[in-house]
Amino acid sequence: MRARARLPLTPIGPGRTVLVGATLIDGAASAPLPDAEVAVLDGVVDYAGPRRRGGVEDGGRVVDLSGSWMLPGFIDVHVHLAMVAAGGEQQRAWFAEEAVLEVAAQLRRTVEAGVTTARDLDGLTPGYRLAVGNGTAVGPRLHLAIAMLSPTGGHADPFLPNGSLPAWAARAGMPSPALVDTDDDIVRTVRRLISMGADAIKVSTSGGAGSPTDEPDDVGITEQQVRLIRRLGDERGGVPVTAHALTDAAARAAVQGGAASIEHGYDLSDATIELMLERGTVLVPTLSTLLREISTHIDPGRRRERERMRERGMDSVRRAIAAGVPVALGTDAGVVPHGANLRELAWLVEAGLTPIDAIRAGTSAGAELLGIGDRVGTVAAGKMADLVVTDADPLASVGRLAEPGAVRMVVQSGRAVVDLDRRLG
């Protein structure tokens, strides 16, 4: 199913620029191309392939990137840009403008890390997507779920047991919680989200590891409800469903209900993996969150459960990858720091992908999942010029892409968002 791209992928910046000399990993081919040439005209790739020795056609400036590596702009399909590092009391004291500008800083940090497109799966209203689209804010091209669906008391329910909202959920500009208990609730809520501009509907078919009032083993949205949501999305132009699922039963319910992707998937059985293969369901394992450092301040019993989830989760993801389940890069950024998105590449390699397949998971696979593979995700003629340039060899050590200063240049729709070496100035 193809998601609707509500943000027009229009070129930014006129003129012709020819980038030569870099080793190109285009997001599609199985091998890199040394001494490549990528020509960009009005924000769109005009040519991508071997360096042409006859000189640059039709004029334009030439930028020599010899010694560098060029890749497509990365796509993180699971972020939460409204989740910020500030403490609860600090957020409670903010003016609305402070909250908005804090999110704007996260947007900029994310694109500067090399992520030119991101799917926010709970917490952003479409105003941020529009601000990036019209150039008011600098950030990744955004796809939005707006809010996450769960039953009252489920993973998407932010209310504390005393009925109050935590500071982050009470901030001005946050979307209302999408709590649904009946089919009528679901119909009304899904139609409201789609009318607001949701590109995907996110559901919680399990509980969460950090929810105020539920646990991972709790049942969330059921298989029958996922089917209803999928039907509602199909009726409105093909808005896909993605599912937060920490247990095998939750993942299986989502797959059988028609979800396009499973977020996390830390307890998949072989039978569910086989079902995902049959249905073409994408796994977004968010290993950055699974493998993050466990706080020494949490309850010892909770710590042991987190450690068991790590072991179970890595085994689950490794088996899914070995079986051939399609994988897209997602980090759950917000739960982990923003701007460190490309650390996920090394974790994907740890789970069984080759470096070049991990790069594809973070580029072309993400674009296909979002339904915009015809415009981004690979470096090819006719695609938007989303590019990342690095001096690090990503095939020798893909983890180096996440190191400070490793990403030397980020081009989004033909415009240099990052240019540490001032080559495009």
pLDDT of residue 425: 67
Q: Which is higher by pLDDT, 87 or 319?
A: 319
pLDDT of residue 7: 44
pLDDT tens figures, 204-235: 999 988 777 888 899 999 999 999 999 999 99
Provide Rg for the chain, Cα atoms.
21
Lowest mean pLDDT among 30-44, 106-120, 123-137, 157-171: 157-171
Which whole number is the average pLDDT over 158-167?
79
Which whole number is the average pLDDT over 327-346?
97
The candidate with the shortest Cα–Cα distance to 335, out of 155, 134, 150, 185, is 155
Q: b vs e for 105-125, b when ≥16 Cβ sit within 10 Å of the residue's Cβ?
A: bbbbbbbbbbbbbbbbbbbbb
Burial of 178: CB neighbours in 10 Å, binned 0-12, 13-18, 19+: buried
Contact 177, 147 (CB under 8 A): yes
Structure-block tokens of residue 96: 């609305």
pLDDT of residue 159: 85
pLDDT tens figures, 297-308: 777 777 787 888
Q: Tell me the pLDDT of the chain averaged across its residues.
A: 92
pLDDT band at 57 (very low <50, low <70, confident <90, very high): low
Which whole number is the average pLDDT over 145-150?
97
pLDDT of residue 209: 82
For residue 245, the tally of other CB atoms under 10 A from its CB is 30
pTM of the model as a whole: 0.94
Q: Which is higher by pLDDT, 8 or 111?
A: 111
> Residue 356: pLDDT above 60?
yes
pLDDT band at 58 (very low <50, low <70, confident <90, very high): low
- Please give the C-alpha separations between residue 273 and each of 248, 266, 321, 326, in angstroms, as whole numbers: 10, 12, 9, 11
pLDDT of residue 168: 67
pLDDT tens figures, 87-145: 888 888 889 999 999 999 999 999 999 999 999 999 999 999 999 999 999 999 999 99
pLDDT of residue 23: 98
pLDDT of residue 1: 38
Q: How far apart are CA 154 and CA 207, in angstroms?
A: 6
> Residue 358: pLDDT above 60?
yes
pLDDT of residue 167: 67
pLDDT band at 293 (very low <50, low <70, confident <90, very high): confident
pLDDT of residue 308: 87
Burial of 335: CB neighbours in 10 Å, binned 0-12, 13-18, 19+: middle
Which whole number is the average pLDDT over 70-81?
98
> Residue 339: pLDDT above 60?
yes
- Taken in order of first residue, the domains within the chain and their CATH numbers are 16-72+379-419 (2.30.40.10), 74-370 (3.20.20.140)
Report the chain's terminal Cα–Cα distance, integer Å: 40
